[in-house]
Amino acid sequence: MIHTLAIIAVSLSSFFVDAYGSGCLATYSRQKYWRDGDRSLIEFFKTEEGKQSKCGDVHLAVADASREGQLPDRNELIQFVKDFREQTGNNGTIFFTYVGGASPSRGTEAVWAADFVPMVELFLLYDLASEYGPVGMSFDAELDKAGWSKVFDLVADSRQYLARNYPDITFEVDVRLDHSLDDKEAVDEIMRKADRVSVTTFASDRFGLVEMYRTFFTRTCPHCNDESFRDYKAKVTFVATGDCDAPCGTTMCDHYAFVPSNIQSALIQLQASIDIARGTVIAQDRFDFFLEPNGTLIGLDHFEESRCIYGDGVLAAIGAPLCGATATEHSQACG
């Protein structure tokens, strides 16, 4: 077994040396780990399996429309971010995420999503951006073009104020998009004004992922594949899932029972999909414009759903619930 694992490690090393990009993996979380002293996410980044994520962006869900204008765990969140930076070695952007779908206490979700911008500035940026950055704000919500325009108008106002008064404080903006979202006006607005988009995909193999990348670049995004592509600002992270409750064919959990380390299988499929897509789904110069080699190009969706594929050994080490039996049952059924 040791000999087999050594061969796998060498093969993976050679694979990623020849691959496009840094291989950094984005991490997305909906659970509020700063509550009740839950250290499992920080401990995960200390494991060997978590090291692939150390250079990637991290998205922390901190608010939704049900708690409009409030960040009740502000002090705990600030300390969590400080501990995270100091203890894990992660140097990606930490995004504070607004999660849509809850019922707003007043107005519409677009109103509260826009209000999230000054809330992050007031409650988090002044304490964290200079010393513990890079940081940013992220939006996991479905808004129309008018709603996104309100958000980006407030982003511009905040950046102008900070540039005049606190030039050392900067932030990035990320928006979550489904690869097949049917709203070209909203997508166009987002691509022009966001710094990054997290594009969700649902496939368990590289070829299925590549077709979803193709859909995004050639159908969903209005001008990603024409001569005006450089008018867009947003860079792209493609996000897959490891959710073992998802249907067969849509999740990296499909591979769990058939490989020594399913997270390595997920990384190989994700990186291979990027290598195949480069220069095939759209022209290479356009692809390289949206997926910069030094950026976070790939990610795994919500850690709470995807963590099973890291294996029960990792989950036990970080104090998280075990789920190997569930993952094995899923992958055997999908095989």
What pLDDT, in 10s, does the model give residues 65-86?
776 667 878 999 999 999 999 9
pLDDT tier at 18, thresholds 50, 70, 90: low
Listed by start position, the domains of the chain span 20-334
Q: What is the mean pLDDT of the chain?
A: 90
The per-residue pLDDT for 171 is 98
Share of the chain above pLDDT 70, in %: 91
Residue 172 token pair: 């990035």
Mean of pLDDT values over 133-157: 97
Flag the least confident range among 95-109, 138-152, 185-199, 210-224: 95-109
pLDDT tier at 107, thresholds 50, 70, 90: low
**CATH, domain range 20-334:** 3.20.20.80
Which is more confident, 110 or 174? 174
pLDDT tier at 104, thresholds 50, 70, 90: low
Residue-wise pLDDT for 186-215, tens only, equals 999 999 999 999 999 999 999 999 999 999
Three-state SS sequence of the chain: CHHHHHHHHHHHHHHHHCCCCCCCEEEEECCCCCHHHCCHHHHHCCCCHHHHHCCCCEEEEEEEHHHCCCCCCHHHHHHHHHHHHHHHCCCCCEEEEEECCCCCCCCCHHHHHHHHHHHHHHHHHHHHHHHHCCEEEEEECCCCHHHHHHHHHHHHHHHHHHHHHCCCCCCEEEEEEECCCCCHHHHHHHHHHCCEEEEECCCCCHHHHHHHHHHHHHHHCCCCCCCCHHHCCCEEEEEECCCCCCCCCCCHHHHHHHCCCHHHHHHHHHHHHHHHHECCCECHHHHHHHCCCCCCCEEECCHHHHHHHHCHHHHHHHCCCCCHHHHHHHHHHHC
Mean of pLDDT values over 220-241: 98
The residues pairing with 300 across neighbouring beta strands, listed in sequence order, are 27, 240
The per-residue pLDDT for 5 is 33
Residue 281 token pair: 């789904």
The per-residue pLDDT for 69 is 67
Cβ-based neighbour number of residue 156 at 10 Å: 12
Residue-wise pLDDT for 241-255, tens only, equals 999 999 999 999 998
Residue 88 C-beta-side C-alpha neighbours within 13 Å: 31
Rounded to whole angstroms, how far apart are CA atoms 18 and 113? 41
pLDDT tier at 260, thresholds 50, 70, 90: low
Share of the chain above pLDDT 90, in %: 75
Q: Nearest-CA neighbor of 291 among 209, 228, 242, 224? A: 224
The per-residue pLDDT for 6 is 34
Flag the least confident range among 46-55, 112-121, 258-267: 258-267
Cβ-based neighbour number of residue 48 at 10 Å: 10
Mean of pLDDT values over 252-262: 81
